[in-house]
């Protein structure tokens, strides 16, 4: 090639990849587009007759490989061939999936104690497209069936279990059984559990979403989401909607998730063990009204959790006596735990839902569902549990 072009042109010319052996770690394909041999090949790929990467918004090897790994984990051991699409965030995963399977006039049936951002998305954004939301107790199966059979309009049931932040457990299998009776699809947010703890496809769910920002990545250094499905008749429509909306993931964030997945099994075991130990400690503390953790026998979702979860997970919340001021004093006194609006990182994180994640949710709905002014959410990390307990113990002394 040297001597073929002028030197300034030579600066621009793309060189062939000099890799001689297979890389040990998945590379980051930091390219916006892919080179094709000519018009014939390009036409075949764009028509969908031949596979191939053409443009980053349509697909990228780093992103596609990460998506495949997540799909395989969700379908692992179930005899299910799952597929996945990575998105720019967990919220975009919800948005793309719901909008690609529903239309104007459709109804989303879900629970009241959802993550605040999801509630806002459903109530504020989707309502503009005439997609309405009904929020009920999804474990009230009689009421759920009444809504499922009411009117012959497209519906979807959206499940978040355990819920954010009070850890309500929804019986996925029972809800799915009712939904199938009325040909209604189900979506499960599996962010809190990951496939290491809970596999909704094995309980009959149609779709799974994750904010991969959380446990799947585990290190707080990327933002992305994923849609996982196993019904082939929806695969093309979801992919097309994602491409047209442009809410696709980027290669670097996908690569970070891919590497985070390698320690997922180890991390979820440690998160669960630490969370159970902390929950037991908090549950007996005189300055705490109640602890929400599915691994505690007195938790209302304990039996459901035992049935559909392999471990109890790393998320809990608790209500301090004294309400908002007591919660503020305690949280400000923490030294090891970090106040941060996320979860699923290796380090312990705390959040006050009423002034952050649920700030724009109706206060009456919050109070009804136990999201009080004194409630603190904890994403229990993988630090030494004695250090975590000492941090909370010393902070509680400040109340």
Residue 245 sits in the same domain as residue 284: no
Residue 173 sits in the same domain as residue 202: yes
Does residue 257 sit within a domain? yes
The tally of domains found in the chain comes to: 2
Task: List, for residues 270-306, the tens digit of each pLDDT value.
Answer: 999 999 999 999 999 999 999 999 999 999 999 999 9
Domain that holds residue 135: 39-261
Residue 290 sits in the same domain as residue 308: yes
Residue 108 sits in the same domain as residue 226: yes
> In which residue are the tokens 């309009």 written?
153
Angle between helices 61-74 and 251-261 (to 10 degrees): 40
**Model confidence, pTM:** 0.95
Question: What's the confidence (pLDDT) of residue 298?
Answer: 95
Does residue 352 sit within a domain? yes
Does residue 8 sit within a domain? no
Question: What's the confidence (pLDDT) of residue 386?
Answer: 98
Residues assigned a catalytic role: 57, 115, 189, 214
Task: List, for residues 261-280, the tens digit of each pLDDT value.
Answer: 999 999 999 999 999 999 99
Q: Extract the residue ranges of the chain whose pLDDT is less than 70.
A: 1-3
What CATH code is carried by the domain that includes residue 330?
3.90.1150.10
Domain boundary among 261, 285, 301: 261
Sign of the torsion formed by the C-alpha atoms of 116, 121, 150 and 157: negative
């Amino acid at each position: 090639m040297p001597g073929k072009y002028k030197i300034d042109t030579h600066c621009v010319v793309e060189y062939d990849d000099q890799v001689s052996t297979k890389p040990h770690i998945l590379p980051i394909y930091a390219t916006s587009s892919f080179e094709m041999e000519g018009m014939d090949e390009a036409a075949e790929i764009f028509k969908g007759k031949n596979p191939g990467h053409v443009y980053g918004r349509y697909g990228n090897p780093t992103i596609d490989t990460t998506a495949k790994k997540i799909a395989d984990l969700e379908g692992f051991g179930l005899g299910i061939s799952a597929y996945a699409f990575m998105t720019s965030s967990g919220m975009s995963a919800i948005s793309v999936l719901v909008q690609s399977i529903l239309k104007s006039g459709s109804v989303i049936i879900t629970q009241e104690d959802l993550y605040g951002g999801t509630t806002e998305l459903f109530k504020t954004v989707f309502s503009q497209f005439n997609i309405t939301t009904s929020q009920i107790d999804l474990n009230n199966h009689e009421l759920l069936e009444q809504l499922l059979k009411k009117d012959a309009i497209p519906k979807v049931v959206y499940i978040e279990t355990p819920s954010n932040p009070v850890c309500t457990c929804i019986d996925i299998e029972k809800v799915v059984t009712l939904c199938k009776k009325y040909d209604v699809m189900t979506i499960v947010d599996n962010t809190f559990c990951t496939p290491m703890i809970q596999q909704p496809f094995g309980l009959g769910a149609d779709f799974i979403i994750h904010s991969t920002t959380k446990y799947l990545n585990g290190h707080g250094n990327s933002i992305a989401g994923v849609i996982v499905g196993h019904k082939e008749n929806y695969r093309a429509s979801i992919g097309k909607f994602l491409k047209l909306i442009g809410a696709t993931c980027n290669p670097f964030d996908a690569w970070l998730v891919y590497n985070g997945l390698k320690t997922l099994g180890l991390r979820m075991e440690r998160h669960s063990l630490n969370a159970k130990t902390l929950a037991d400690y908090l549950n007996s503390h005189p300055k705490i009204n109640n602890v929400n953790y599915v691994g505690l026998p007195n938790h209302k979702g304990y039996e459901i959790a035992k049935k559909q979860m392999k471990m109890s997970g790393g998320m809990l919340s608790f209500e301090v006596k004294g309400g908002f001021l007591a919660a503020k004093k305690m949280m400000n006194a923490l030294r090891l735990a970090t106040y941060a609006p996320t979860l699923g990182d290796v380090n312990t994180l705390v959040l006050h839902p009423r002034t952050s994640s649920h700030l724009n949710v109706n206060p009456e709905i919050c109070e009804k569902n136990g999201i009080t002014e004194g409630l603190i959410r904890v994403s229990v990390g993988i630090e030494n549990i004695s250090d975590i307990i000492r941090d909370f113990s010393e902070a509680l002394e400040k109340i």
